[in-house]
Amino acid sequence: MDKIVMKTPLVEMDGDEMTRILWQYIKDELLLPFIDLKTEYYDLGLVCRNETKDQVTVDSANATMKYGVAVKCATITPNAARVKEYDLDEMWKSPNGTIRAMLDGTVFRAPIQVKGINPCVKNWVKPITLARHAYGDVYKNTEMKIPGPGKAELVFTDENGVEHRELIHQFTAPGIIQGMHNTDKSISSFARCCFTYAIDTKQSIWFATKDTISKKYDHTFKDIFQEIFDAEFKEKFDELGIEYFYTLIDDAVARVMKAKGGFIWACKNYDGDVMSDMVSSACGSLAMMTSVLVSPSGVYEYEAAHGTVQRHYYKHLNGEETSTNSVATIFAWTGALRKRGELDEIPELVKFADALEKATLGTIESGRMTKDLALITDLENVTVLNSLDFIKEIRKDLEALL
């Protein structure tokens, strides 16, 4: 069989720990034998980020804007322990945070549903797609430890040098403060991304914030969504019989637990971070979820929603067998390859992405799976595979399909 030829390179962002190991297995077993893979490679592993003073992350985001489609491996966001472990010059920022701040846009995450793995929330018969705002709030914050008594204020100096002040707190003892921001432009593009995605997928969309408490910050999100919906999307929604529904975040959480699924749940940046982990783990495993960042300029970055699976990596380093689920990382690749195929009009690449997804799901449905899924499946006669053997089984099914 001839290998599929690509036109434009994919931006490939390599990562850390166990997912870096899976990354190579996936390329060797599932991609390189079938595709003349064209990528522009950026090593976002922590060692290289440290050596380049994190310039590699910025370069990879710029390349994504240039080419339009990227695929990203999970990466370590350093904390104090990682600074020690990797002897870092600095506690580098989250690569996802840096990339999202540059690309702007919205992260859409949906569970990968497969026969034999049922959500533990019994009434979720259809997937819930999470739309996470990918810019600002606590991910672009400024924080301060307050050493003792004093006055903390919020100060905005306008272009004419006029200061506007609000008291945060009159401290009488040590404490902490935090400043965050967002922009009307980013919130507007978040709203448009969500409404457009709802129309594309013919699903209703829910949005929730805490506007009763945050009367300016969160209320602005609510107002912008409503204005854009009424002015640009309402008619189309009515035509399709789908709805836009706003409520308070705590009400949304309560309703989601009782819902049937089949809708998009739009969340502010932090809510989306936390709630997508809840939805995905309720659907089986963090590794059974797709994640794509869609920027307002039409740029796509595909990734897995889970982390670098550190515990498994240390086992791997000790020579112990691991059974790490590679499905989310495989789907990051298929999402990116399919999008590249659509943009460059390479139908074979689109077909290949479809076949690889089908082979992956088929492998699980036939009872061959990793340990995380074996623990929760209601299939009988299950074979638990190690990380590499699972990928090799997918390859067998893929070869049969192609």
List interacting residues with ligand NAP (CB under 6 A). 74-77, 96, 286-287, 303, 306-311, 324-325, 372
Residue nearer to Mg ion on the CB measure, 91 or 274: 274
Phi and psi based region of residue 289 (left: phi greater than 0; alpha: psi -120 to 50; beta: remaining): beta
Residue 5 CB neighbour total at 10 angstroms: 11
Measured CA to CA, the distance from residue 330 to residue 154 in angstroms comes to 45
Residues in the chain: 402
In 28-89, DSSP assigns E strands to: 35-36, 39-43, 69-72
- Tokens coding 289: 């979820």
Residue nearer to Mg ion on the CB measure, 132 or 368: 132
Per DSSP, the three-state class of 158 is coil
Residue nearer to ligand NAP on the CB measure, 286 or 294: 286
Tell me, residue by residue from 190 to 209, as one string, x for binding to Mg ion by CB under 5 A and - for no binding. Answer: --------------------
- Hey, which residues does 293 pair with through a beta bridge? 107, 301
Q: Which of 14, 16, 218, 273 binds Mg ion (CB under 5 A)?
A: 273
Interface positions, 134-193, toward Mg ion (CB under 5 A):
none
* DSSP designation for 37: -
- Hey, which residues does 175 pair with through a beta bridge? 146
- Tell me which amino acid residue 26 is: I
Measured CA to CA, the distance from residue 345 to residue 341 in angstroms comes to 5
Q: 21 is in the binding site of which of Mg ion, ligand NAP, none (Cβ under 5 to 8 A by kind)?
A: none
Assess 393 for contact with Mg ion (CB under 5 A).
no
Q: 287 is in the binding site of which of ligand NAP, Mg ion, none (Cβ under 5 to 8 A by kind)?
A: ligand NAP
Residue nearer to ligand NAP on the CB measure, 136 or 341: 136
In 185-307, DSSP assigns E strands to: 205-209, 244-248, 264-267, 289-294, 300-304
Query: Stretches 56-64, 182-190, 267-275, 327-335: which one binds Mg ion (CB under 5 A)?
Result: 267-275
Residue nearer to ligand NAP on the CB measure, 81 or 167: 81
Q: How far is the CB of 337 from ligand NAP (least distance, A)?
A: 19
Q: How far is the CB of 277 from Mg ion (least distance, A)?
A: 5
| Minimal CB distance residue for Mg ion | 273
Residue 246 CB neighbour total at 10 angstroms: 18
Q: How far is the CB of 252 from ligand NAP (least distance, A)?
A: 23
Q: How far is the CB of 122 from Mg ion (least distance, A)?
A: 25
Measured CA to CA, the distance from residue 283 to residue 278 in angstroms comes to 9
Residue nearer to ligand NAP on the CB measure, 83 or 180: 83
Q: How far is the CB of 254 from ligand NAP (least distance, A)?
A: 26
| Minimal CB distance residue for ligand NAP | 307
Q: Which residue in the block uniquely carries the two structure tokens 């013919």?
A: 202
Instruction: Report how far Cα 59 is from the mean position of its chain's Cα atoms.
Output: 20
- Tell me which amino acid residue 154 is: L
Residue nearer to ligand NAP on the CB measure, 204 or 310: 310
Residue nearer to Mg ion on the CB measure, 224 or 327: 327
Query: Stretches 134-142, 185-193, 208-216, 266-274: which one binds Mg ion (CB under 5 A)?
Result: 266-274
Binding site for Mg ion (CB under 5 A): 273, 277
